[in-house]
Amino acid sequence: MKAIILYDSRSAAGSTEDVVDSIGLSLVESGFYVEKAKCTAIADYRFVKGFDLVVLGAPVYNFVVASQLLGAFIHGNLKKSLKSKKVALFLICGSSEPMAALLYLPQLKMHLMRNKILAEKIFAPDALSDGTVDSFVEEVLIQYHKEPKSRALSEKWTDEAQEWFQSMPSFMQGTFKTMAEEYAEEMGYKEITLEVLAEARDNLGGT
């Protein structure tokens, strides 16, 4: 299991760095190989595809989530690179949790509409002292391992087919996955593409 923590902060050794290192350590202790990377808005984020879990986090400055992480979504290819990834989010700020959930968290979540968000947390700047970081990691791990294995898509599914699958209502996914995989097997297709899914739908009489 490989995890990466992508974060931003204006401070060289501030509260965000401390929280990132604490999350990283807990994940390592839970069996993950962990890397961390400080975001820059213009960067190539395709490397995140190699990780099973992506933790995104940043502080808030002047009512806005730190600019390099937001910029990576707006100007870089982070959003595209996170396709089908399991993601966990955290923010660090001085505001109360309800205020931050209303004002700041949506600034990140609007870019993650198609991702499975395992857990999200708003930390106070002194989060390390109050145990909230540990409970966040615990929640991430519970949700990570809870993922229904039967719905995990194999390498055969192309990125586009996986994205389409993730956009389906979850109650339909189990049946649809079995149907699509059996159809591809029967037809001898090595890849499950959008075209294969459309063909399966036509041949099997779906709408």
Ligand X SMILES: Cc1cc2nc3c(=O)[nH]c(=O)nc-3n(C[C@H](O)[C@H](O)[C@H](O)COP(=O)(O)O)c2cc1C
Residues in touch with ligand X (CB under 6 A): 9-11, 14-16, 59-63, 92-95, 125
Nearest approach, Cβ of 136 to ligand X (angstroms)?
15
- 22 or 95, CB closer to ligand X? 95
Of 176, 184, 169, the C-alpha closest to 150 is 176
With beta carbons less than 8 A apart as the criterion, state whether 120 and 147 touch: no
In angstroms, the CA 151 to CA 174 distance is 6
76: left (phi over 0), alpha (psi -120 to 50) or beta: beta
How many other CB atoms sit within 10 Å of the CB of residue 99? 12
Nearest approach, Cβ of 94 to ligand X (angstroms)?
4
- 59 or 157, CB closer to ligand X? 59
Nearest approach, Cβ of 191 to ligand X (angstroms)?
43
- 12 or 113, CB closer to ligand X? 12
Which single residue brings its beta carbon nearest to ligand X?
14
Nearest approach, Cβ of 66 to ligand X (angstroms)?
8
- 14 or 206, CB closer to ligand X? 14
Phi/psi for 76 (5° steps) reads: -95, -170
